[in-house]
Amino acid sequence: MTSAESGETLAGLGEFAVIGRLTARRTQPAEAVVGPGDDAAVLTAPDGRVVVSTDMLVEGRHFRLDWSTPHDVGRKAIAQNAADIEAMGGRAYAFVVGFGAPLDTEVADAQRLSDGLWSEATKFGAGVVGGDLVAAQQWVISVTVLGDLGGRPPVLLSGAQPGDTVAVVGDLGWSGAGYALWRKGIHEFDELRRRHLVPHVHYGQGAAAAAAGATALTDVSDGMIADLGHIAAASGVAVDLSTAALEADVATLTPAAAMVGADACDWVLGGGEDHVLVGTFGGALPAGWRPIGTVLAGEPRVTVDGAPWHGAGGWESFGQ
């Protein structure tokens, strides 16, 4: 029986032994010249530029360990960070992960977290190249992701133009629906519940959108209305969404909404944490993308069928 299997804790095994166990037998990404084990990692920059983003996950605020397994938490941490690189039109290739946890955390749970990180990262050829391990009052995970633009310019929030098509790739509102089901203690609609724990990011679609000439791009992390609001504000344009184009999304979630007493449209437009990509295009859409609205000239705002939206507004980090 290994120490992890016998219930040994982080405090019992010690920092460097834990790090050694978590990094053992991992295949580093091609860009890693020096990986874990030295004072810092050394990476190549494939096209001379590096796209960088950081996200934090705090237990009780961004995940619950009575809902999520440590493996789920690891996958979510990677997926939501990789989505930020996708939203720039890039490809994530390396992650640096800081993990804080109570001293009595079992090594086996830290190992499961690490396995989740690697399980998600290897889906698109990336890896964890370094990080830190500290004692904390609760689980806290900080992830910094490095990405590559493949020789293309980054796709910014500020490029949308009147006349562009607003398009999305992926399912809308599933995470919000899953969250409501978890809160109500409803054990039906397993896939919706899973999507709240681990988002389904369409890896490679950011680069596909950039190659197709996307004028603006973001991932749906705070909610469709909120995130398109960032594009509208940065680009100085108005965005109008079509409920007719979202009918299938709403219909898919309606049975779950009826069970919890919610409006499926609120999940689709304000749910957040789906981490699917939404963008604006002046020409043909890439394969797999579907139109949901139009960019218009006018005061920066997001409307639905030409009218202001009065439903759920989306996630706010410092909200209650």
pLDDT in tens, 66-76: 999 999 999 99
Residues 6+ apart with CB under 8 A from 235: 157, 158, 159, 160, 161, 216, 280, 295, 300
Prediction pTM value: 0.93
Q: What is the rounded average pLDDT of the residues 244-272?
A: 97
Q: Enumerate the domain spans of the chain.
A: 10-148, 157-308
Q: What is the rounded average pLDDT of the residues 156-174?
A: 99
CATH for 10-148 (3.90.1150.10, 3.40.50.410, 3.30.70.20, 3.30.1330.10)? 3.30.1330.10
The tokens describing 63, both together, are 């995940």
Q: What is the rounded average pLDDT of the residues 289-302?
A: 99
Q: What is the mean pLDDT of the chain?
A: 95
In whole angstroms, give the CA distance from residue 83 to residue 126: 13
Q: Give the closest residue to 213 by CA, choosing from 132, 301, 270, 279.
A: 279
Q: Give the closest residue to 249 by CA, choosing from 222, 276, 228.
A: 276
- Judged by phi (left if over 0) then psi (alpha if -120 to 50, else beta), residue 198 lies in beta
Architecture of the structural domain at 157-308: Alpha-Beta Complex (3.90)
Q: What is the rounded average pLDDT of the residues 225-236?
A: 98
